[in-house]
Amino acid sequence: MTENGRPGTAVVTGASSGIGAEYARRLAGHGWDLVLVARRAQRLAELAAGLRERAGTAVETVEADLAEPADLDRVAERVAAEDVALLVNNAGINGYGPFAEVDAALLTKVVDVNVVAPTVLTRAAVPAMLARGRGAVINVASLLAFAGSLPPGVLPHRAVYGGTKGYVVTFTRTLAAELAGTPVRVQVVCPGLTATEFHLGTGETPVRGERRVHDEGGMPAADVVTASLAALATGEVVCVPGLEDADAVERLAAAELALRQAAGTAAAPRYRAAEVPDL
């Protein structure tokens, strides 16, 4: 708690709907002051007004497109402020579509929002948190981070999106190991299909109109946030909200260890052929 008895300030990106808006509501209800970041100023204003009225919390809004360097710099400056004790990197876009057909500029934006922004904002937050002796970062990824070899069909065309979420998972796990023993906690939450607006567009522009949920349905955003905050309290670095077998994450780590043990000075026999393949 801070001197005024409140937990501090939480910055939530992608706060205008879905999981981000639910983090905002939940944190406000627990006494957090908020900085809400998104592209849709009107949505942010409406959410902020409701939170101030219901929870009596201080709420700042920042209209920003995290794919734009100037906007990202503005948000990073706010994240680095001494009052920020929690950063929720929730903003993300999907850029779904066959890789050879999706506009290259959109794919660049996916990388900027899903990879560059959380990296820059986490780097802005962590030094001040370490200096103060408290703080946490929650990065929102996706179960599609683990779906690399599965073909599209039921799943979307997602080569770049899945790659960016794989980065978020690896980045968070590695950073958590680096910060082990410090008072700063880091978590990655990996929801499956969630009942939000996410599938109503590719992310090139914000979803217009009233709040609504894509037809595919999925887990309620409130359940995702409940799982994330519970896992943060118990120190789980990788939170998969619908996963009942908690040991699955440990088995993943064991499989990774087996792969790393294959590092050596000679290639495996099956790779020693001298032929150049026909293409």
Q: Which sequence positions are flagged as catalytic?
A: 167
Structure-token pair, residue 24: 């905002």
User: Which ranges of the chain would DSSP assign to H, the alpha helix?
Assistant: 18-29, 41-55, 69-79, 104-111, 117-132, 159-178, 221-234, 247-260
Name the DSSP class of 115. Answer: I
Picking from 265, 267, 236, 266, the residue whose alpha carbon sits closest to that of residue 253 is 236
Q: Is 188 left (phi over 0), alpha (psi -120 to 50) or beta?
A: beta
Picking from 146, 164, 43, 19, the residue whose alpha carbon sits closest to that of residue 96 is 164
